[in-house]
Structure 1
Amino acid sequence: MKKKTISRRNFVKESSLITGGVLIAPSMMMASPISKKENVLKLAVIGCGGRGTGATAQALKADHNVKLVAMSDAFKDRLDKAYTSLSKIFDSSKIDVPASRQFVGFGSYKKAIDEADVVILTTPPGFRPQHFEYAIAQGKHVFMEKPVATDVVGIKKVLKAAKAAKEKKLNVVVGLQRRYQKSYLAAYEKIKNGDIGKIVSGQVYWNSAGVWVRPRQEDWSEMQYQMRNWYYFNWLCGDHILEQHIHNIDVANWFIGEIPISAQGMGGRQVRTGKDHGEIFDHHFVEFEYPGGAVVSSQCRHQHGCFTKVAEHFQGTHGISSTKGKVHATLNSLDGNTIYDHNGENDPSPYQIEHDHLFQAIRNQRDYINNAEYGANSTMSAILGRMATYSGKQITWEQAMNSNYQIVPDEDSLSWDSLPPTICDDSGNYPIPTPGKTNFIIS
């Protein structure tokens, strides 16, 4: 697989600059001061696709005095579409984004972030570490979608920025919305209180029919094609085990209270095999082992006409728990008696709640939120699973985190004429990972 990599020497050098301490201007040491509740909070969105548009709408509803002042996207048509959609919902008291604050192209994120107090990061996830790092360096509060990276070097960058955010008292919310969902919170509290005993095993699922494909246009460069079809390229998306299934893996980490120590599994491309499906698999199965002895089986699939399920089940020494979607959270004893049954038909949207909590924390300047560490750990768990299915090997957390595995180039070096990290052959086929042959450099 043709990938751009970073040498271990350069990675160690760059890491030491961060961990050793870089001189930071005093104005960037803390969050921007917001002394009065009625002060306008200026908002910027980086990545204006469907999720960026939705997250921006939720942010604008979360606080009575927040205003969208800047937008950034690689593509002008996506920015224009998002601006038009939001303008139909909100008036000028909420949206003030003249052409001079509509930024387009690679590297445009910096200009938008500089305009704001709060930023929404919703580009393809490969760019997330670089955007998050810059936002925190500039003293901005952040909402960023999951996953927060697609490679190990990106994870390390996010963890360092998360530490800086904590020191600066910046609020960070990650779009793993189940952690803000009433049914999941209720189940978690019951599990934490010991109602089903110690979790010893579990099964987590994201089995569905798959997502969109955007046909290649003759006038697109290879970079434009991959950016339009970002879901099918690992440097941008990380495969669906990361982009979607991270939700269920995150629930396992959360409920168990640990992160995996190793993963082994299998996967491949059996149904979704066309040139327009890039380099990712259409099914993964992983066994995650946790420090306390629990083993969690993880399934995700993108295949039409098959069994579908998005849910989590855990078995404890005294009972079992099941969580699914917005409504369902049940706990039962081992003899079948109901311990708890949550009916969430009328529960508020967790997508809105996470923004409500972010802006409340910004306003009160006291109860700071920082989801970045668990967001990074759950992202890394899914990356570990992908590494295991692609290679067919058992890979430990320590091995992966000690590696220099990097597949994402610096965004500021990219243009529409740049070659992406993975390129197709003369027939238009991309190199596909092969278990037993594909290896990862483990140091």
Structure 2
Amino acid sequence: MADPNHAPDPSRPSPVRGTSRRSFLRTTVLAGGALAAPAVLSGCGTTAGRSSPAGASSLAPAVLSSQPDAGQGETLRVGLIGCGGRGTGAAGQALKADSKAVLVAMADVFPEQIETALKSLTQDPAIADRVQVPPERRFVGLDAYQRLIESGVDVVLQAAPPGFRPQHVRAAVEAGKHQFVEKPVATDVAGVRSVLESVRMAREKNLAWVAGFCWRYDRARREFYRRIHDGAIGDIRAIYATYYTGPVKPMPPPSARPPGMGDVEWQIRNWYNFVWLSGDGLVEQACHSVDKILWAMRDVPPARAVATGGRQTPNHEGNIYDHMHVVYEWSNGVRAFLGQRQIAGCFNQNSDFLMGSRGEGVIDGWRAVYIKGENRWRFTGPNNDMYQQEHDELFASIRRGEPINDGEWQVQSTWVALMGRMAAYTGQEITWEMIQNSQERLVPDPLSWDMKLPVAPMAIPGQTKFV
């Protein structure tokens, strides 16, 4: 049976057939009762009252052919914030998800990013005619996101560096826009709190919010976790997850900085290497592994975390670790072990091993997904493009007037990633209550192009304090 929160119901009339554009968009924003009341992220975490995330607790398989009929509905005007590789990919997927979607605006701090993305998108014959971004709707600068939101778009794709995410998603929600929101949602606890408020505002306004935690939109993993939740391996005893890979965006030496380039520009151009912009490798990349751990645990957050980590390879002016190992523990004694590393020339792996009382569940990277033990199983069906699926379900939900809202579990997965990073940086045991009450604030506010922005020192366990 299709997941009612994500798959279109072909027996229901389209909310846009026979309506004007203004009426259609008003319907998608104001329709009441389509989603459950928001959950409260507190204590050990409850999932009661949440709309089921794609493939999460209810795990009913979603219909994978969800593109609405091109004859139904009005044009959906799409705006892209953050025109790097991930943003460019998201824009292409959005246009392929809905034949009435048109990319009409783009925003980035740097103009060359917009031009590179436009060149890539217009070379795809499947979508080129719906890339309609004239020069006056190519917004550049730190305030480019706001000008894009005010330009008349209906759907915003959020793909800027995550340090900017809280500010960007809040502006979009306040303006009544549907959103695709890349992971993670923030790089500090203050940002996570802000995004949680935005998520709840989006729910109140009945706005779509699809998370960039793409594995929850993967067919094989949806079926895998459905079986896990149905007891295929019995009670989960432990989880081991790996995110071992090479450097993502190595920091250039100070000598590579062009004369006259200010601190803010230099750091944004090398955003991955600064905690306030990327959140570190655990928060920015291995958050996928954190999210899958939480998926296995039915989105109940851990009670505490301890971790080790540090910097093995030179990072020049950057201040992120290149390896961490986190142990998350739940109140029932279950532990999850997460290894994260971004060092060249090392063993690489991105896998998940779930150990239960009656068997073991294995996600072997991008390859096999299977269960060993009493209930042997291996996924053998055709898989889907999970990146495309995110947008297929986003636009289909908007069309039928029942917008998806993944926001609360997306926030929680980011929060748990921050919990692990803070345990590694401080060398302390960090509890769920501690991370929820943390006063950590890393993102400069206000931020201006010409301001001096000294780089915070690299964290030292045992010396760096919990805030």
TM-score range, shorter chain: 0.7 to 0.9
Deviations 1:274-314 (A, max 9, x none): 315x0011110010012332100110011122221101111
2:460 pairs with 1:434: yes
2:407 pairs with 1:402: no
Query: Partner residue of 2:398?
Result: 362
* Structure 2: distance between partners of 1:309 and 1:92: 36
Select which of 309, 332, 350 maps to 2:372. Answer: 332
Deviations 1:397-424 (A, max 9, x none): 11111121111124xx32321233xx25
5+ long unaligned stretches in structure 2: 1-24, 32-70
* Structure 1: distance between partners of 2:314 and 2:270: 15
1:213 Cα deviation from its structure 2 partner: 2.8
Query: Partner residue of 2:449?
Result: 416
2:294 pairs with 1:260: no
The within-5 A match list for 1:299-378 is: 299-333=339-373, 339-343=376-380, 346-366=382-402, 368-378=403-413
The within-5 A match list for 1:104-183 is: 104-114=140-150, 115-183=152-220
Any idea what SS the aligned residue of 2:123 has? helix
Deviations 1:32-84 (A, max 9, x none): 579x9330000000000111001100001000100011110011111111112
Q: Is the CA contact 2:28–2:398 (under 8 Å) kept in the aligned structure 1?
A: no
Task: Identify if the C-alpha distance between structure 1 residues 213 and 311 changes in structure 2 by more than 3 Å, giving closer, same or farther.
Answer: same
Tell me which amino acid in the other structure corresponds to 1:58.
Q
2:357 pairs with 1:291: no
Deviations 1:236-278 (A, max 9, x none): 00000011100011001011111112110100112x22315x0
Q: Is the CA contact 1:31–1:140 (under 8 Å) kept in the aligned structure 2?
A: no
5+ long unaligned stretches in structure 1: 1-27, 425-429
- Equivalenced residue count is 399
* Structure 1: distance between partners of 2:257 and 2:444: 24
Q: Is the CA contact 1:109–1:131 (under 8 Å) kept in the aligned structure 2?
A: yes
Q: Is the CA contact 1:183–1:327 (under 8 Å) kept in the aligned structure 2?
A: no
1:326 Cα deviation from its structure 2 partner: 3.6
2:251 pairs with 1:251: no
Deviations 1:350-386 (A, max 9, x none): 00001000000000113x3111111111111111100
Any idea what SS the aligned residue of 2:422 has? helix
Task: Identify if the C-alpha distance between structure 1 residues 341 and 406 changes in structure 2 by more than 3 Å, giving closer, same or farther.
Answer: same
Q: Is the CA contact 2:251–2:316 (under 8 Å) kept in the aligned structure 1?
A: no
Q: CA RMSD in A?
A: 2.1
Q: Where in structure 1 do 4 or more consecutive aligned residues deviate above 6 Å? A: none
Tell me which amino acid in the other structure corresponds to 2:305.
A
1:324 Cα deviation from its structure 2 partner: 3.2
Query: Partner residue of 2:248?
Result: 211
Scaled by the length of structure 1, the TM-score of the pair is 0.86
* Structure 2: distance between partners of 1:159 and 1:42: 26
Any idea what SS the aligned residue of 1:204 has? strand
Query: Partner residue of 1:80?
Result: 115
Q: Is the CA contact 2:241–2:351 (under 8 Å) kept in the aligned structure 1?
A: yes
2:100 pairs with 1:57: no
1:30 Cα deviation from its structure 2 partner: 7.5
Select which of 271, 294, 298 maps to 1:230. Answer: 271
* Structure 2: distance between partners of 1:211 and 1:134: 29
Task: Identify if the C-alpha distance between structure 1 residues 326 and 304 changes in structure 2 by more than 3 Å, giving closer, same or farther.
Answer: closer
Q: Is the CA contact 1:31–1:139 (under 8 Å) kept in the aligned structure 2?
A: no
